[in-house]
A and B are shown apart, each in its own frame.
Chain A
Amino acid sequence: MSSQTLPEAFRLRAGNFNLLVLRLLDPRPEAVLPALGDQFRRAPGFLRFAPIVIGLDDLEVAPEAMDFRGLVQGLRALEIVPIGTTGGTQAMKQAAQHAGLPPLRPVGGKEAETDLPVPAPAAEAPPPAPQPVAAAPVAPEFQGSGRAAMLVTEPVRSGQRIYAQGADLIVTATVNPGAEVIADGNVHVYGALRGRAVAGAADDATARIFALNFDPELVAIAGFYAVREGLGDAPIGRAVQVRLEGEEMRFAPLG
């Protein structure tokens, strides 16, 4: 059978992803989940459907004592998607794997114990979650930021505050006056940006802000900010990208 005549159905590529790690300090789901739930109530929308890796390094219990299934169910109920584990003893990893959490290897990190290849979990794989490939077997074609992104599809309303920690933030609705969107990476607003936008919150001066309709109360990158009054020359109401050049904020029309 000649492969040239068939349309390509898929391509395999390596990808690096920046993921949040939930380091378990307490093995009991009943202790971890309410605390997490509490934190998310204070920042609604934060981490919604975010893929998360469970860090096992700080656990000092027997693997049999860990209720991974309960933990996974609890996290899903909080709309957090656990996709694997990092660290931990071999036995602990295996226990997690039985609950559908494969071990991930951090980029550049070498595993303390060299693992024998563990058979992939068969039928009980978790429902489709983005599968990160931790180490790139081939050289990547271009150098990305390596950041994950958080997606928000509902309008961000006055008084709401969304923080994409360690990630880019993509908002496909409007950011209303009195709302605040913050990302450690870039902020993209595919709607009107009428509230505040903060990019590079973890001091990344290369982060940028993009907005389809640029009409903000304040923009900030890596601690440098401009309030609306200082945006006299910026192309208000147009598609704009904001970046930092030295200590100067630059506003350029897009498209």
Chain B
Amino acid sequence: MAQVIVVTSGKGGVGKTTTSAAFATGLAQRGKKTVVIDFDVGLRNLDLIMGVERRVVFDIVNVIQGEARLNQALIRDKRVDTLAILPASQTRDKDALTREGVSTIIEELSADFDYILCDSPAGIEKGALLALYFADQAIVVTNPEVSSVRDSDRILGVLQSKSKRAEEKRDKVKEHLLVTRYDPNRVERGEMLKLEDVREILAIPLLGVVPENESVLKASNTGTPVIMDTESVAGQAYKDAVGRFLGEDLPHRFLEPEKKPGLFKRLFGGRAA
């Protein structure tokens, strides 16, 4: 049975799709058979970030409405062969998604994949509820900013009450906190919430902290998941997060402001911390 992971946040623009793309790619790079589904019907983005927008023929709505088979709609990634993408529809609205339809798709994908990532739309409406309904695990993407933290808090409450696991009173959805766009310099100046403050309010285990980094924008625009940019701090942070997700014990990095390289760093290189 595949593990179903929802990438969610409540708030928009915090990095759900960037995270979905990076995480799916990272899991696939580790040899896990991974499929990532775009649930943002009407505002399709995942295919752009994954760089497959020119290969989209059918989408999730076509599959649900019986106009295409699942295998026709799945796009196999050309860079990592264990990775597939199921795009959203850009022309329909969210009402085209039905719980039965999504259930059938997830069941069918479960046979072939180890991980099914669901890239949730923002909000707590139908699309977001469907994206999290079947989840076994949730990656809650949060920016160090009060409105984002509050919306993440809200979505954690929704996960506890509206997911299939909650409705069937099974073990609750396993929650992971991923803080993105973290800027230690701005935290130090008091312009951003400290990591500890975010953790205290949300009170769920920390999967990783992805620093604010130019490489993310560049990666989006070139259709390359940022985790493939192994030189960038964001790419490395995502790689660490994937490692932790798979049970590795890795220290959190990129939490302190960059200092002028001291003697130690000049001697041993800048990648020590």
Contacts and interface: CB of A to CB of B under 8 A. Distances in A.
B221 interface: no
Contacts of B169: 77
- Looking at chain B, what size class is its interface with the partner chain? 10 to 19
A178 B201 contact: no
Interface in B172-217: 200-201, 203
B201 A174 contact: yes
B3 interface: no
Contact of B201 (A44, A159, A176): A176
Contact of A157 (B146, B157, B200): B157
B157 A174 contact: no
A174 B203 CA distance: 9
A90 interface: no
B157 A160 contact: yes
A236 to B, nearest CB: 16
Contact of B153 (A77, A178, A192): A178
A44 B161 contact: yes
Interface in B111-154: 124, 146, 150-151, 153-154
Nearest to B158: A159
A33 to B, nearest CB: 14
B154 A178 contact: yes
B150 A158 contact: yes
B interface, over-half SS: helix
B24 interface: no
Contacts of B161: 41, 44
B226 interface: no
B157 A159 contact: yes
Nearest to A157: B157
Contacts of B160: 44, 154, 157
B154 A158 contact: yes
A interface, over-half SS: loop
Which of B124, B151, B166, B203 neighbours the largest number of chain A CB atoms within 10 Å of its CB? B203
A219 to B, nearest CB: 19
A34 to B, nearest CB: 13
B149 to A, nearest CB: 8
B206 to A, nearest CB: 15
Contact of A158 (B153, B166, B200, B203): B153
A74 interface: no
Interface string A5-35: 0000000000000000000000000000000
Contacts of A158: 150-151, 153-154, 157
Interface in A166-218: 173-174, 176-179, 192, 194
Contacts of A154: 160
B156 interface: yes
B46 to A, nearest CB: 27
Contact of A177 (B153, B158, B200): B153
Contacts of A177: 146, 150, 153, 201
A179 B203 CA distance: 15
A155 interface: yes
Nearest to A79: B169
Contacts of B150: 158, 176-178
The 6 closest A-B pairs by CB, nearest first: A157-B157, A158-B153, A158-B154, A44-B161, A159-B154, A157-B153
Interface of B: 124, 146, 150-151, 153-154, 156-158, 160-161, 166, 169, 200-201, 203
Given A157-B153, A157-B154, A194-B201, 13 more contacts: A44-B166, A154-B160, A158-B157, A159-B124, A160-B157, A174-B201, A174-B203, A176-B150, A176-B153, A176-B201, A177-B201, A179-B157, A192-B200
19 contacts: A44-B160, A44-B161, A44-B166, A154-B160, A155-B203, A157-B154, A157-B157, A158-B150, A158-B153, A159-B153, A159-B154, A159-B157, A174-B200, A174-B201, A176-B153, A177-B146, A177-B153, A177-B201, A179-B153
